[in-house]
Every structure is written in C-alpha cells, then in structure tokens.
Amino acid sequence: MRLLLVRHGITQNNVDRTYTGQTDAPLTELGERQAEAVGKYLATEQLDIIISSDLQRARRTAQAIARYHDLPVLEDPNLREISMGKWEGFTPEQLQERNLDEWVHVRSDPINVPPPGGESFAQLYERASKVLRYYQEKYAGKIVLWCTHGAFIEVVLCYALKLDLKYRYCFRQENTSISELSFEGELPWIRRLNDTAHLRALNGNKLFAALCPEEA
C-alpha cells in the first residue's frame, strides 16, 4: 500500500494558536484556498481510495482533492485528531494562567498523561497504529489518501518508522502538507515529507499558520 497523508487546511484556531483537538472547527478562507491548491496539485496523482477524518476541516480538504478524481470521500472517525479534552478552545498561555499545576503535570509527560478528559499520545498511538494496520490489510497494493490532522500524522510516522514517540516533533506537518509512505517491506519507503510546494501559488499570502500547539 502507498499512503498519502494530507493535513487539513488552516483554521482560525491554528492562527490563534488555540488547541483544537476534536472540536469541529471550519476552514478559514485561506484554508479553503489551501485545500483547493492541494487538490490541484494532486489532480494528476493516481489514487484508489480517499479517506477523511469526519471533522469538517479534514472533510472539506478531502473533498477539494476528490473533485479531481472519480472517487467518493469515505469518512473514518478513527482518523480524528488527538482529543485535548477540557483544553480545547484555549491557548497554552491561557491554560497556564488557569491552572499552572495541571499544565505542568500534563506537560511533564505528555506521552502518557492526557489533558483532563482527553487522550495521551500513547492512546493516540494505539488508535493510529490499529487503523493503519487495518487499512494496510484492507487495501494492500492500493494507493490510499488520508486527509487527517497534524498530531495524528506525526504519530503515524513514528509508528510506521518504528520510532519512539518523543521523535514526533521531528515530523512537523504544515496545513495541507503531503507526506507519503510506501509499504513494501519491514520498513516503509518515505516518498515525501511535509511537501507544501502547492502553496507557493498563493502569492502574497501567509501560507502557513503561525506555529500552533503541536496537538492542535
């Protein structure tokens, strides 16, 4: 299976550096344009299956890609972003002001300690690895595109490459970036990583979000 991993277009929460998690935030006007740009960029790619997180920011991005292919957009809630629980809707600075002890506790071990009511990265790893194994078996030999979320993609890359989750920060994913893996042996072949060449066409615009929280 070849797997293309596309992050959704920009949202206002990304711009504001607000934790979004599984909140169903819409794309901004620029996010819609980013989605159209990645759709055009991938128009000549061969794709067999397009699967999206069921959150609208991912679904809208997937629809912009599917427009150039005779394919439906399938939705899978297992491709959702990490849940940030009660932290969703707040910036890191706001959370530290509200409850510094809670912030320090979670951030001291974010792999294993989730935000209140949310997921830890270990839990996200379990969800992501399970869904990847499922689709590898279901679509063996196919070219599959997932439209999903930044932290989710980082964790998938760690799992696929057999890396500790502490290395997830090495795989920064910009809005509508494309990463691609080809599963042909024990370890996948990385065909591309955080490809944003399509955004150069948006002349004069701020192409990427201000660096937002990694779980947003």
Tokens at 199, concatenated: 């955004």
Q: Contact 113/120 with Cβ under 8 angstroms?
A: yes
DSSP line for 159-191: HHTT--GGGGGGG---TT-EEEEE--SSS-EEE
Q: Contact 173/7 with Cβ under 8 angstroms?
A: yes
81 tagged catalytic? yes
Per DSSP, what are the bridge partners of residue 144?
Answer: 3, 49
Q: Which of 8, 69, 149, 198 is catalytic?
A: 8
Q: Contact 7/176 with Cβ under 8 angstroms?
A: yes
Q: Contact 51/78 with Cβ under 8 angstroms?
A: no
Q: Which of 36, 69, 81, 198 is catalytic?
A: 81
Q: Max CA-CA distance within the chain?
A: 52
Strand locations in 26-185 (E): 49-52, 73-75, 143-148, 178-182
105 tagged catalytic? no
CA separation for the pair 191, 105 (Å, rounded) = 38
Q: Which helix (H) or strand (E) holds 126?
A: helix 121-138
Q: If DSSP codes are grouped into helix, strand and coil, which group holds residue 6? A: strand
Give catalytic residues, as residue numbers: 8, 81
